[in-house]
Amino acid sequence: MPYSVLVAGTPGVGKSTFSRELGSGMGSCRVMELGKIIAAEHLYSEWDDDHNCSIFDEEAVEQHLENLGVFGKENVVVDFHSPDFLPPDWFDLVVVLRCSTDA
């Protein structure tokens, strides 16, 4: 049975590293770094030059992922920093990574 995992957390907490490791332990698994997909597919409404980041289009991102047709059909790990717009029924498990800000 295919399994979908959402990995969330603030930038720099280790989401991508954790997601790749998790995906490799799941056998055949698609690991999607949503930030990279947004940039590559231009799924943003504007670019913020001051912060060097995109202002992503939630509807376009959701539609793009839905069009991939992977949820419920293959093992998937999705990594993103602000996933609250994604349909919760797409995921079997949500992992929120945190780290201490004390140095």
What does the DSSP assignment read for 42-84?
T-EEEEETTTTEEEE-HHHHHHHHHHHT-TTTSEEEEEES--T
The 10s digit of each residue's pLDDT in 6-22 is 999 998 899 999 999 99
Q: Report if residue 33 sits inside a domain.
A: yes
In which domain, by residue range, is 33 found? Answer: 4-74
How confident is the model at residue 95, as a pLDDT? 97
Strand ordering across the sheet containing 93-96: 29-33, 75-80, 4-8, 93-96
Note the pLDDT of residue 100.
84
Of 9, 16, 2, the closest CA to residue 83 belongs to 9
The predicted pLDDT at position 27 comes to 87
Q: What is the pLDDT of residue 103?
A: 66
Report the DSSP pairing between strands 93-96 and 75-80.
unpaired
Q: Is residue 35 part of a domain?
A: yes
List, for the chain, all residue ranges whose pLDDT scores fall below the cut of 50: none
In a domain, 92, yes or no: no
Q: CA angle, corner 56, sides to 40 and 2, nearest 5?
A: 70
Structure confidence at residue 21 (pLDDT) = 96
Q: Is residue 81 part of a domain?
A: no
State the Cα–Cα distance between residues 31 and 28, nearest whole angstrom: 10
Q: Is residue 100 part of a domain?
A: no
* CATH code of the domain containing 33: 3.40.50.300
- Answer yes or no: is 36 within a domain: yes
How many structural domains comprise the chain?
A: 1
Predicted TM-score (pTM) of the model is: 0.88
User: Is residue 68 assigned to a domain?
Assistant: yes
Q: How far is CA 64 from the centre of its chain?
A: 12
